Each structure stands twice: as structure tokens, then as C-alpha cells.
Amino acid sequence: MEKLYSVTELARELGVTARTIRFYEDRGLISPQRAGNTRVYTHRDRARMILILRGKRLGFSLRDIKEFLDLYVVDTTQVEQLQHLVKKVRSRIDQLEDQAEAVRVSLGELKDIERLSLDTLKGRGIEID
């Protein structure tokens, strides 16, 4: 028999709040079964939540994550899903590389400002730790 999780159990296992799980349910990313009035989550729901959380951690939008998960249901060979994933991952890599370059430039400018400011203070006889 398949293990079923309550929202509290699933949340504890994934290190999120029950509210987080309900949020993703409200957005249609997971669809728990019902046992009376109680939501019960399957191994499949748990796996989807792991993918959702990983996608969010990597900076993908909920829309991107939903598209990816929905493709899995439609294309069980995973070919279309993997092609879509590669496209999205490449796009995210490009975004992160652009951000990394922007951070490098900003750090360089800030270090220049710091150096100039310290030199000015030193020229006035003021030392800063």
C-alpha cells in the first residue's frame, strides 16, 4: 500500500510550512486526494513538491514549474519535458551569468569608492579599521 502523508507530515518532511503546501495546491501544482475532509498526499505529490521547491530555489517562476510538471503528465516519454527543461535551464543560466557579471561590476565600483574614500580619509590623517 502506498504511503500517504497528511499536510503536516509532508510539510515537516520537506522542511516547509503547511501553508506553503496549500499555496502550491491553490496554484494547481499539486492535487492531493481527499479522505473525507482531510487532504492526503501521495508519493507523487511529494515528488512534485520536491521538484517545485527545487525549481523555486533555482529561480524558476511558478508558471515555468507548472508547465514543466504538466508536460510530464502529457508526455510520459519525457522527451518534450526534457527539451522544454533544457530550454528553460539555458535561459536561467544566461540570466544568472548576466546577474553575476552585474555583481562583479558593482563590487569593482564599490571597491574603487571604498579605496578612494579611505585614501581621502588617510590624506586627512584619519585611519579607519
Residues 2 and 54 reside in one and the same domain: yes
The predicted pLDDT at position 75 comes to 67
At which of 10, 25, 60 does a domain end?
60
Q: What is the pTM of this model?
A: 0.76
Please give the residue range of the domain that contains residue 23.
1-60
Please report, in tens digits, the pLDDT of each residue of the chain (129 residues total).
Answer: 788 999 999 999 999 999 999 999 999 999 999 988 889 999 999 999 999 999 999 999 999 999 888 887 766 678 888 888 899 999 999 999 999 999 999 999 999 999 999 999 999 999 888
In a domain, 70, yes or no: no
Residues 1 and 53 reside in one and the same domain: yes
At which of 60, 87, 104 does a domain end?
60
Please tell me the distance from the alpha carbon of residue 63 to that of residue 34, in angstroms, as a whole number.
25
Please tell me the distance from the alpha carbon of residue 6 to that of residue 13, in angstroms, as a whole number.
11
For position 5, which CATH number holds? 1.10.1660.10
> In Å, how far are 105, 108, 110 from 118, measured between CA atoms?
20, 15, 12
